[in-house]
Structure 1
């Protein structure tokens, strides 16, 4: 009996090593969702692939002082059925299940059978040990074989009927009920007459990978939202964070390619929908998503920094210190496809900038961002469409509407404008169930008047903060409270009493929001919430505007 025990002990390490290779299938529960389980099986196989060991000294975590060293060395030298992980480790102290042990035993038996078939020496004593182990784990080996056969059969069916060998389809559908409440903002006195709306947005993402670590995203999008902005509420501050109009007409809203250059550098290039928040870290993880984050447009991310000229161009993410320090950079233009004078990739409106992201420890992340921005006269919106009231002063549909409140949107009217934008963000995980985030931004803006001879200058400021409580009442739920100051323009050149002169924002406008995201299951979430805009368009003479929302998000 002692001999049997020690022989089994010699064989056990190799079985353990082999079992790790098969663990994703062997230790899995019964196949309930075939597609998901096979995907996990394939992913584990790619990430934890084992490589054959020809010398026990190849394993970095095995030393001659280890109690099993001689057993490992003997198995490598005599049978060659030891496998190590890609990082040259063996992980000999890791626990294993009986199914995993059976998988390893099966692998070693196959190797020894090959040795026997090739007439290489195998002692009778070893054969007796193997026979007894085979009998001991006969049931587990049979079960394992059945599971592998079933997976192979189902995989064959999926391969015969798959959509694509390189592309995955994922989708998101949003249903939103919304209403606004308030009185007069500017000369818009119909806020109280606004009706309850029921709208939708649909996104289909086709994510294609050509060699496993890259992604080509093609997004089809449609929606039928009527924006809650100046025509309805008197201010762009009331816009929803996920509105998409167009009478549900389908368009290609995103087309960009993300690819690794090496383990530390990732590149981006795109012709549509490549945005600042794709390449930069917006430091607002709980609220940045349009489908599961903030309900308002303002609370999703810093509008001064991350809602600018964007759409086509390139970017790069560089990881200097793993999980600690990274640098991001980009160049984007919104009319890159227009060959006209003053447009195109390099002669029209653009954003160019860099970002440093620092995480001194796992719970804290800090970022600093700089963006150099130019917007031609017909593209100017320095506030990311989060503030402003445009009115048809002359009652002429052929002339542009005039900005009469909320001057951060067009500080100098429809004039070519340059901006140097600086901002910072911070995210702090207090614990597993409470996350705090905040950001602030400043922009030095210049209006290029009369061929740059009479430039006008000013500043735009904004900030925001939020706190989220996770798993409150149900696992996967989220209660978030957010608030901040909407982009505000101030200037020494302003002449507020002159309606035709340069004006600055006289008062201060704030937005406060609360929402609760409740997951019905893994694919459906309902998010009721509300937000209020105080002193809309930075004018305390305006009445507050309230927005109530119920958003339902379906993911598949």
Structure 2
């Protein structure tokens, strides 16, 4: 059945009967004393009723709530002109249902078709009462008989329309992709390029090359019980990581997919409820913290929407750890919590790798999220050999010499994130984070021949994101990102040339405007600026231009 049809039916039924069975309050009151219909009159009504097209209005999924007392309707008061009529319908026939918020919304306009649908609902209720031997007021029966005659054409047409809908629904069920699986898709076309910028201590200009690539995703959501979800994402693409030429991850775009159009199963997990407040995720491949954790960023569109850059999309703490493991999400009233474990090389049988012996991260988050407009959360991440993935920085003088897997790193990261919708067209989000990191062994620098010592790293980052939804057109979004990607503020690590590891503080500014041409096509031009790219003030500012077009189906 049409969802819209079923939603209008209960409300309009009460409205119709309130307006038609009682022309005014006096008539309604007078009905209290009306004589009951005889058995013969009731049988005649049933015979007449059976000549009309039967329409089944019973819907087990109907979200409306049955009203047993008119005082349960918050927007109906004894001073309303139809109060006595409504009370009579509730007490005598049970012919009224309200919205879930216990409102009646009696001032809503209705069409002739809605009139007929509401009339039919009360006819069906009256028919049921007669069949069960319940006494019916004769005056009500007469009014309904007249109305049924007047609206016979509409009632018959409604029955035909319902039959047609049932036939179409049956056809779709017979020809659908799967009875348990829904298919969604997203295709991103991206034009991007570095407009200006330097690398390698300012000695080289970054090549100014414009690229055009795509990111394509097909997502299968399969449910076996109606509450669980087996999620499968098949992906491919050609959008490059600009880190390759800019020599800093700070240049990477959120929709980068440098797969040379090779198709793979990028994400695979199974989600199911443990009880009404707790759900679990089994991450088989490509798992990420945002699968089961609220990132509290209004601009987080996972690359296909929202922020254009990796840094602007979400808090860097959510990049520390990936691939396979387990996750949990739960609620305690207005509080939300998430916890999980992810191993980067969980499928490898080699020494120092695998589910428990290789790189891993564990995350816990606890937040206060009373509604969709506000949320604040504390996040903690502990990991082994997963610092580099979430640093969003080369750790100047360190990242070029070795990676996590060579020297070994431990980290404890602490962060605070929030989102606040201050008004209809303005949302502010943000985060701040600190990582206490350690390298686990020294390393010989092949360039200088010296030894890079082991030691500690203090790493900080922060950002404020501003979102302006629906400012020009419904579905549009303007966004601004201001912040500092992770940088080392303090360290006791000595490099191979005898100097102390240090980094300059970078600064990230990003702006974009997401414009929907249709419900399924949107284009987003934007610009990204990074001061002191690669955390090196010797490099001039990095400017990246982007035009992203997203198709969803």
TM-score band, normalised by shorter chain:
0.7 to 0.9
- Return the match for 1:281 from 294, 297, 307: 294
Shift of 1:478: 1.8
**2:331 matched to 1:319?**
yes
Q: Which residue of 2 aligns with 1:157?
A: 171
Q: Which runs of 5+ in 1 are unaligned?
A: 12-41, 77-81, 389-402
Distance 2:21 2:289 in 1: 67
> Structure 1's 232 and 47: CA in aligned 2 closer, same or farther, altered over 3 A?
farther
3-state SS in 2 of match to 1:245: coil
Other-structure match for 2:421 = 429
TM-score with structure 2 length normalisation?
0.78
2:6 alignment partner in structure 1: none
Q: Structure 2 residue aligned with 1:387, among 387, 390, 393?
A: 393
Does residue 507 of the first structure (1) align with residue 504 of the second (2)? Answer: yes
For residue 547 of structure 1, report the CA deviation from its aligned partner.
1.0
Task: Note the C-alpha offset of 1:387.
Answer: 2.1
Which of 66, 76, 92 is equivalent to 1:74? 92
For residues 129 and 502 of structure 1, do their structure 2 counterparts lie closer, same or farther at Cα, with a shift above 3 Å needed?
farther
Match of 1:25 in 2: none
Aligned to 1:345: 355
For 1:465 and 1:3, locate their aligned partners in 2 and report how far apart those are by CA, in whole Å. 59
Change (3 A) 1:404 1:366: closer
Aligned to 1:24: none
1:403-414 matches, within 5 Å, as 405=397, 407=399, 414=406
Q: Distance in 2 between matches of 1:7 and 1:405?
A: 87
1:48 corresponds to which of 50, 63, 71 = 63
SS at match of 2:61: helix
TM-score by length of structure 1 reads: 0.78
Per-residue CA shift, 1:28-86, capped at 9, x if unaligned?
xxxxxxxxxxxxxx9x96351667x9xx479966999984445433325xxxxx57679
How far did residue 435 of structure 1 move? Answer: 1.4
The question of whether the paired residues in 1 share the 8 Å contact of 2:493 and 2:500 is answered with yes
Contact map agreement 1:332 1:352 (CA 8 A) in 2? yes
Partner Cα separation in structure 1 for residue 526 and residue 420 of structure 2: 24
Paired residues for 1:100-139 under 5 Å: 100-114=114-128, 116=130, 124-139=138-153
Q: Quote the residue 1:331 is aligned against.
A: 341
Counterpart residue number, 1:301: 314
Q: SS of the counterpart of 1:427? A: strand
Superposed displacement of residue 163, structure 1: 0.8
Contact conserved, 1:407 with 1:488, CA < 8 A, in 2?
no
Among 433, 441, 449, which residue is 1:441 paired with? 433
Of residues 410-419 and 251-260 in structure 1, the stretch that sits farther from structure 2 once superposed is 410-419
The match for 1:234 is 247
Q: CA deviation at 1:261?
A: 3.0
Where does structure 2 lack aligned partners over 5 or more consecutive residues?
1-19, 33-56, 443-452
Aligned length: 488
Matched position secondary structure for 1:547 = strand
Asked whether the equivalents of residues 383 and 408 of structure 1 are also in contact (C-alpha less than 8 Å), the reply is no
Note the C-alpha offset of 1:250: 0.5
Change beyond 3 A, Cα 1:492–1:527:
closer
CA 1:274–1:180: 2 relative to 1, 3 Å: same
SS of alignment partner, residue 158 of structure 1: helix
Which of 342, 361, 373 aligns to 2:383? It is 373
Whether 1:416 and 2:371 are equivalent positions in the alignment is no
Q: What are the within-5 Å matches in structure 2 for residues 139-288 of structure 1?
A: 139-186=153-200, 191-229=205-243, 231-288=244-301
Alignment CA distance shift 1:500-1:151 (3 Å): farther
Q: Where in structure 2 are the equivalents of 1:442-457 lying within 5 Å?
A: 442-449=434-441, 456-457=455-456
In the alignment, is the contact (CA less than 8 A) between 1:201 and 1:243 conserved in 2?
A: yes
2:129, 2:135 within 8 Å by CA — same for their partners in 1? yes
Report what 1:291 is aligned to: 304
| Gap change, CA 1:64 and 1:545, over 3 Å in 2 | closer
- Post-superposition Cα deviations, 1:213-260, rounded to whole Å, max 9, x if no partner, equal 33221110001123211x311222111111011210110011112223
